[in-house]
Amino acid sequence: MAVKIQGAQPDGGVLDYEELAGSPVESFDGQGPRATRRLKCAWADRYVLIDYFLGHGDGETHVIGAPYSFASGIGNVLYASSVQCTPFFPASVKQDTLRLVPTKNASYDHAHLEVGYELLHANLPAGVQDPSKHPQIMTAESLDTSLEYITLPTKGLDWRTLAVNTALEQGEAPGLAIPAAVWTVVRNYYFKLPEKFYDYAGAMNTNEITSNKFGKRKFPARTLMYEPGEVLESHTANRLTPYWRATMRFHYSSRRWDRFFRAETGQFENIYRADSTDEVLPYRELALEDLIYGV
């Protein structure tokens, strides 16, 4: 699913609104930067603006409004994720003095929009320099680190006291802590989930994959194993086009998923078939980056 980011004005149209005093409000915490803009527009135009900020789609391309950039030079770019719409009228006018017809919907001259922005990432395929000339893939990422504990075989291991070597007993097998992590990627705006979202389950990455968020961290080949996660259905603003928020989990192991501990060398190594030079791969090897960056 391609995502197209519009400019300050929508394609083929002009938005008429003004930003109110006290806007924007910016916040920073452990979840990343966020921002809220307070806007005023004609009551009749409110759905046009909501549609512009939150986006719309035709089943092939999702079009969203221009991102929010921090004036202070902070590198993060935020995209609209919510819009709250309320009537706008002068503070001196009490709502109960407005002339409303009981049998009709209330009507006002202007609307007050609060547009919430959160951190998403526009991941571009390698070699693409100009975001405006290429479909973009919107993702959010998180990384949860951990340790994997394994028990080592006792073969070839001794206790040494002075000149006496004593072989380790089975109950004395040492343990080893291996750095691990779960890299979670949420890909938005899948209008149709591809078959590979589920078909790639249990596969390891055949190519190096780069995280767009965590300092461009690179995950070497065969260090990630894919697990499909939660899929939530949502809709675009006022066109009611369904789309999906698909969660993908990539289990990282620093030892690589294709290697096993060898007691003789004390290292993790590949294994081979006894009757050939063929490497034994315990898991399928696939281009997992297509799940994240594929259009």
Per run of 10 residues, the mean pLDDT along the chain (length 295 residues) is 59 78 88 88 89 72 74 68 85 53 70 87 53 57 89 79 78 84 82 86 94 84 95 63 82 92 84 88 93 77
Question: Going by C-beta distance under 8 Å and a sequence separation of 6 or more, which residues neighbour residue 58?
Answer: 241
Determine contact, residues 271/190, Cβ cutoff 8 Å: no
Looking at residue 258, its pLDDT comes to 93
Q: Residue 245 belongs to what H/E stretch?
A: strand 242-253
Q: What's the rounded Cα separation, in Å, for the pair 58 and 243?
A: 10
Q: pLDDT at position 193, please? A: 80
Model pLDDT, residue 89: 73
What's the pLDDT score for residue 199?
A: 96
Report pLDDT for 218.
92
Q: What is the dihedral of CA 57, 62, 63, 64, to 10 degrees?
A: 110
SS3 281: coil
Long-range contacts of 262-271 (CB under 8 A, 24+ apart): 263/152, 263/153, 263/154, 263/155, 263/156, 263/157, 264/155, 264/156
Q: What is the pLDDT of residue 133?
A: 46
**Amino acid letter for position 23:** S
Question: Using an 8 Å Cβ cutoff, are 85 and 113 in contact?
Answer: yes
Rounded distance between C-alpha atoms, residue 22 and residue 1, angstroms: 37
- pLDDT given at position 131: 47
